[in-house]
């Protein structure tokens, strides 16, 4: 099985108010090694502030690692610029957020279409429609995010994340803002669609039940994988 993601000895350090002399600097990740194989699902669990979200931010190329190596879909990305990273992610890397982060000015349908258009994929409308069908929201496709419930918004976010059949999906506390029932529905969709489309799923969560559904679980504490 090929690797979708590899982090080797990755550090993430934020400079504090004291400046560049190191005083006040905060190490969020401390030499993390992490691998996700293609098609597998991995849950990352750990207490608040342990570095879980930072791990996927670095892995997806949203934060630049302070030290160490990051290989995303076979490409070393430490030296990549923002636009290079954006191009690498197009259609191949997706994300689901705890706070949904839908585009408030666009309908559910356009929210799902937007990443497909950015990736310049073909059959954009058909793919978006299929993704919304898959999460059971065809009837709400012309609604704006403000007209949807929390659970529905997250289902749109799942559809958006998976519509392009990405190789790798990161999910950051995808059920954290949802009630139990909505959370269960979203989790079902996320795992089933990812599995059906052969996507690698890296999911950060506090929820033990959700973590248990992943093929593998890694634990983080104080910036380390333990």
User: With respect to other proteins, which residue has the nearer C-beta, 103 or 208?
Assistant: 103
What binding mask, one character per residue, do residues 45-64 give for other proteins by CB under 8 A, x or -? --------xx--x--x-xx-
Which range of residues in 29-37, 42-50, 98-106, 184-192 is near other proteins by CB under 8 A?
98-106
Q: Hey, which residues between 149 and 168 contact other proteins (CB under 8 A)?
A: 160
CA distance 32 to 24: 21
24 near 18, Cβ under 8 Å? yes
Phi, psi of 7 (to 5 degrees): -115, 130
Which range of residues in 43-51, 107-115, 182-190, 195-203 is near other proteins by CB under 8 A?
107-115
Listed residue (8, 57, 60) closest to 34, CA to CA: 8
Q: Which of 2, 9, 49, 99 contacts other proteins by CB under 8 A?
A: 99
What binding mask, one character per residue, do residues 75-94 give for other proteins by CB under 8 A, x or -? -------xx--xxxxxx-xx
**Separation of first and last alpha carbons in the chain:** 24
106 makes contact with other proteins (CB under 8 A): yes
Q: Report in angstroms how near the CB of residue 1 gets to other proteins at its nearest.
A: 25
175 makes contact with other proteins (CB under 8 A): no
Pairing between β-strand 216-221 and β-strand 41-45 as defined by DSSP bridges: parallel
Q: Which of 22, 49, 75, 117 contacts other proteins by CB under 8 A?
A: 117
Contacts of 39 (CB under 8 A, 6+ apart): 1, 4, 198, 199, 200
Residue 105 tokens read as 């000015």
Q: Which of 25, 35, 38, 118 contacts other proteins by CB under 8 A?
A: 118
CA distance 48 to 54: 11
Q: Report in angstroms how near the CB of residue 62 gets to other proteins at its nearest.
A: 4
Compute how many other C-beta atoms are within 10 angstroms of the C-beta atom of residue 78.
15
User: With respect to other proteins, which residue has the nearer C-beta, 176 or 215?
Assistant: 176
Listed residue (57, 142, 66, 39) closest to 98, CA to CA: 57
Reading phi first (left if > 0) and then psi (alpha if -120 to 50, else beta), residue 156 is in alpha
Which range of residues in 31-39, 67-75, 101-109, 193-201 is near other proteins by CB under 8 A?
101-109
List residues near other proteins by CB under 8 A: 53-54, 57, 60, 62-63, 82-83, 86-91, 93-95, 97, 99, 101-106, 110, 114-115, 117-120, 160, 172
């Amino acid at each position: 099985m090929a690797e979708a993601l590899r982090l080797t000895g990755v550090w993430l350090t934020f400079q504090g108010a004291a400046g560049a002399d190191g005083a006040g600097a905060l190490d969020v990740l401390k030499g993390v090694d992490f691998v996700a194989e293609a098609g597998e699902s991995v849950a990352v669990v750990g207490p608040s502030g342990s570095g879980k979200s930072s791990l996927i931010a670095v892995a997806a190329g949203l934060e630049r690692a302070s030290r160490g190596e990051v290989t995303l879909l076979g490409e070393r990305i430490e030296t990549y610029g923002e636009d290079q990273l954006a191009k690498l992610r197009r259609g191949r890397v997706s994300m689901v957020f705890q706070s949904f982060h839908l585009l408030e000015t666009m309908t559910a349908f356009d929210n799902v279409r937007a990443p497909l258009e950015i990736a310049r994929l073909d059959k954009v409308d058909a793919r978006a429609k299929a993704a919304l069908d898959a999460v059971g929201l065809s009837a709400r496709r012309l609604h704006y995010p403000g007209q949807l419930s929390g659970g529905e918004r997250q289902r749109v976010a799942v559809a958006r994340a998976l519509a392009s059949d990405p190789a790798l999906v990161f999910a950051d506390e995808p059920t954290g803002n949802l009630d139990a029932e909505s959370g269960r529905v979203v989790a079902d969709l996320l795992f089933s669609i990812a599995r059906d489309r052969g996507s690698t799923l890296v999911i950060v969560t506090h929820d033990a039940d959700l973590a248990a559904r992943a093929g593998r679980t890694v634990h983080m504490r104080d910036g380390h994988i333990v």
